[in-house]
Chain A
Amino acid sequence: MNATRKLDTAARSARSITAPSKGRRVLALSLFLATALALSSFRIVPAPGIALTLAPFFYLLAFRFGGIRLSLPTALLVTAPTLFWWGHPVIVLISAAHVLFLRYAPTTRGLTLPTTLFYALPGAAIIALFLWLQYDPPLATIVLTIIKKVLNDVAAAATVDLLTTLFVFRPAALRLEKRSSVSLSQLVSSTVTLLVIIIVLVVLVEHARPMSAGIAAHRQAIERAVEVAVLRLPPAQRPSRAELRIDIHAARSERVVIGYSRAAVLSPAVLTSLGCSRLDAGEDGINDRTTVAYWISACATGTIPTNSGPVYYAYATRELATDAYRELLRHLIAPALLFLLALAVRLALLRAVEHALARWTRLLQDFGTPELTRPEGWSFTEFDVPVEAFVDANNRHAQLMQDRERLAGAVMELQRGIGLRLLAGIRFDAGTGRLHFVEVGVDRPGQPESAEVHRNDRLALDNARGRDEALVELRFVDAGREQWFLLLARELEPDGSWRSGCLVRMQQPNVVADRTLHQARLMELGGMASALSHELKQPLFTIALSAEAGSLILGRDGVETPASEKFHRILRQVERAREIIGRISHYARVDADENRAFELRECVKGVTNFMRPLTVRENIRVEIAAQDGPPLRVLLPRVALEQVLVNLIQNAVDAIAARAAGAAPGHIRIGIAQGATGPELSVEDNGIGLEAGAPETLFNAFVTTKPAEQGTGLGLYICRQIMLELGGRITLGPAGAAGTGARIVLTLPASVLLEEETAAAH
C-alpha cells in the first residue's frame, strides 16, 4: 500500500512538472512579453535614420512558439514604441502583415525565406508608398530604408530559425530542450543566411557610423564658409537677409540663407523656401534626429558672431542627408548582392540536399529488392560511400534471402515429396489415443498439434513408451485406414515425451509387405498343390491305363484270375487316389486378385522396392528400362503379375549369388516394352546362366538347378501357371551371347492394354 501511494505521489509530482499550473503559464507569458517590450524599446542607431530593433525577433519567436495567436499580439505590443519614435503606425501595420503573411503564405520550413519574400513583395511596397506620400524623399532614401528593414527582419528570422533548428520549445513544460536530431538542411541554410546577414549588417553599421561625423564635418564646413562669406561683405552692404550659394565640392553647392536678425532668417516663409518643416534645434520627441524623416525635413541653423553683431544662417539638411544615404547605399550594393546570392545558394543547397535525401529514401524503401543498383544521376560524394555500402549490403542480403527461400522451398518440396514431417515434443496420450507433437517447419513457427491414432495401432505406441528411441508404424484416423506412417521419436524426456523425431508417410509399410509375403506363401502353397496334383495325375493315369490294359490282356477269354483281380484292385486304388487329388486340387488354384488398372512401370517399381533388401544384401544393381513413349497401362490382377516378378527377381538374385567369388558386380535389368503381340516384361541377369537344353524343363514342377535346401522347383512353374491364367506366355533364354545370365520374357495379351493408352500411343 505504502509503495503504491508513494508511486501515486511521484506520478502526481511528475504531472505537475510536465503540466505547469495556469498561473505559472500566465507568469511565463507575461515575463516573455515584458522582456520583449523592454528590449524592443531600445533602438540601435549607428547612424541617423538607420535604426535597428529587436521587435521582429520577438514576434517571430512568438510565432514559432505559439503560432499566430501569440505572434500577432506580440507584434502589436513590441512595435508599439515606433509610434512614439516616428509618430505613425506603419511599422505596426507592417509587422502585423508580416505575421499574417507567415501564417497564410505557402511557406516552406523556416521563417527566413517567407520573410524575405514578404519584404520583396508587399512590405517594400507599403514602406515605399508610405515614405513617398509622407515625405517625398529621394529614391536612395526609400531604398535604404527598405534594405535596412529587410536586413533587420531577415536577421531576426534567421536567428529564430537557427534557434528552432537547435532547440525545441515544450509549451506544456515551459521548457526549451536541445533537439536530439537536427535538420542538416535547416541548420546549413539558416546558418548561411544568418552569417551573410551579419556581414551585410556589419557593412551597414561600419559605413553608417561615420555618417554622423560626416554630417558634423559638413556642418562645420558650411559654417566656416558662411563666416568667410559674411566677413568678406563690407558692413554697409550687409542686408537684413541674403541667400548664398556655398560650394561644398565640385559637384554640389549648398543653398544657405543668412540674416542679421533671427526673425528674418527663421521665418516660416524662409524655411518653406528651403523645403524645411522644422529646425534642427536638437529637440527630442517624435521624429528626432535619429530618423530619416528628420533629416530630410529639417533645416540646420546657426549663429556666427561678428563685429557687427551675430549673423544667423539656415540651410536644409535634405541634400546633406541624401548624399550620405546615397553614399551608404553605394557601399551596400555589393553586400546586398552577396545576400541575394546567399539566398539563391541556400535554396539550391536545400534543393540538392532534399533531392539527395529523396533518392536515398527511395533507395532505402527498395530494401530487400535483389540486384539493387546505385541510383542514376548526380549525388553528394559524401552520400556515395554509405549508398554504395548499402547497395552492397542489400544485394548480399537479397541474395541470402533468395537462397534461403530457395532452400526452404527445396526442403519443403522434399518433405512433401517423401511425406516427411519433423517433430518436436512428441507425446502419446493413451487415454485419448492422440499423438501430440509440434511440427518443426522451415517457413513458420511450430504449432502444437495432435492427431488421433488408429485404434489398432495404439498398443504399439503404448509399448514404445519409456524407450529412449521409439520406432512405430501407425495409422491416423484422419489419414485413412490404408495410409501408414512411420514415427521415429528420440531423446526421451523426464515427462515421458520425446524431444525430437519425425513422421514419414510410408509407400508400403512393413505390415503390408508382410501381407505380400503371406500372399506369396499362399500362392506358393497353391502352386505346390497344383503342381503336386498335376504331377501325380500323369503317373496315376499311366498306372490306371496299364492296369486296364493288363486286365484286358488277361481277361480276353473272360475268365477272372487272381492276377486280373490284382489289376482291378490297382484300378480301385487309382480311383481312390484320384479322389484325394481332386480334393487337393480344390485348394490348388493359384488365386489371382481381381482386375485392376495400373501402370506396368509402377508395378515393376513396387516389386523392386519390395525386393530391395535382397538385392542390397547381394550388392546387385537393379535397373528398370522402360521403352520411350506413353506409359503402358494395363488391366490385370496386379498381385498375380507382382508374384511372377517377385519369383523371377528371386531367381535372378539366386543365380547371381551362386556365381564364383570375384565375378563382375551383379546386375538385374527389367525391361518394359510394347512387343509385337502385346506388352512385354523382361527380367535379365548376369548370374550363372542356364545349362544348354534346360530351358523348357525348367518350367516343370519340382525341377530346380538350385541346391536342395534352397529351391522347391516351383518358382518358374508357378510363373507359367500364372501367365497362362493371365492369358500370356513366359519364355526363357540366355541373356548374353556368351551363354551367361538368363533372360525371361513375359508376354501379356494385347487385350489387357487399356484403350485410352493405346489410342494415345498411336
Chain B
Amino acid sequence: MAAYMGGPDRAILVVEDEPELRSELVELLQLRGFAAYGTGDLASTRVWLEGSRTRFTVLSDLLLPDGSGSELMRYLQAGAEPNLALERLVLMTGHSDLPEELEQDLSDRAVQLLLKPVPFPQLMAALHQPPPEA
C-alpha cells in the first residue's frame, strides 16, 4: 500500500466533466497523498494551468464538453506557453472503439491512455511513472 502513496510534492489536476466521478477521484488521490484538484472542462483547465506556479500531472478524460482530450494534449505539448505548469499528461476514456488515428497520435506523443473503469493499481502506476525525458 505504501508504494501507492504519492509525495506531497506531486500535484495532480483531474479534468473530468462528470462531477461525482471527479470528486471521487480527487478525494481518493488526496487520500493517497497527492495534492489533487479538479476541473470540469477544457477552458477552466487552461486557466488553471496558466495561472499556477506548481507543475501538475494532468489526468484528463478524453471527451470533454468543450473539446477532446487530444485537443488538450496538443495544447499542452505545443510549447506555446513556456511557463505552462505541466509535468505529464495521462488520459482516460470510457470508449473502447477509438479511431486508429487517435491511438497512433497518442503513442507518437508517448501519452498513456487508461480505459475506464481504471483499476486503481493501474491508475497509481501510471501516475507514479517518472516524467518523460523530453
Contacts and interface: CB of A to CB of B under 8 A. Distances in A.
Pick the most buried of B32, B65, B94: most chain A CB atoms within 10 A of its CB. Answer: B94
Contact of B118 (A541, A582, A696, A721): A541
A549 interface: yes
Interface residues of A, number: 31
A530 B97 contact: yes
Interface in A106-127: none
Nearest to B120: A548
Interface stretch (B18-26, B50-58, B74-82): B18-26
A161 B108 CA distance: 115
Interface in A564-584: 571, 574-575, 578, 582
Given A537-B94, A548-B120, A549-B24, A542 B99 contact: no
Nearest to B32: A552
B25 to A, nearest CB: 6
Contact of B120 (A533, A544, A586, A724): A544
Contacts of A549: 24, 27-28, 31
Given A545-B21, A727-B99, A727-B101, A696 B27 contact: no
A641 to B, nearest CB: 15
A448 B120 CA distance: 79
A553 interface: yes
B107 to A, nearest CB: 17
A33 B129 CA distance: 144
A540 interface: yes
A185 interface: no
Interface majority SS (helix, strand, loop, mixed), chain B: loop
B24 A545 contact: yes
Contacts of B120: 544-545, 548, 571
A542 B21 contact: yes
Contacts of A546: 24
A696 B28 contact: no
Given A530-B97, A534-B94, A585-B96, A542 B18 contact: yes
Given A537-B116, A546-B24, A530 B101 contact: no
Given A542-B21, A542-B24, A552-B28, A721 B119 contact: no
A538 interface: yes
Contacts of A590: 97
A724 B99 contact: yes
B4 to A, nearest CB: 9
Contacts of A552: 28, 31-32
A575 B118 CA distance: 10
B99 to A, nearest CB: 5
A588 interface: yes
Nearest to B96: A585
Given A541-B117, A544-B120, A549-B31, A721 B97 contact: yes
Given A537-B117, A578-B119, A590-B97, 17 more contacts: A534-B96, A541-B116, A541-B118, A542-B18, A542-B20, A542-B21, A544-B117, A544-B119, A544-B120, A545-B27, A546-B24, A548-B28, A586-B96, A589-B96, A589-B97, A721-B97, A725-B97
13 contacts: A538-B116, A541-B118, A542-B21, A545-B25, A545-B28, A545-B120, A549-B24, A578-B119, A582-B96, A586-B96, A589-B96, A696-B65, A724-B99
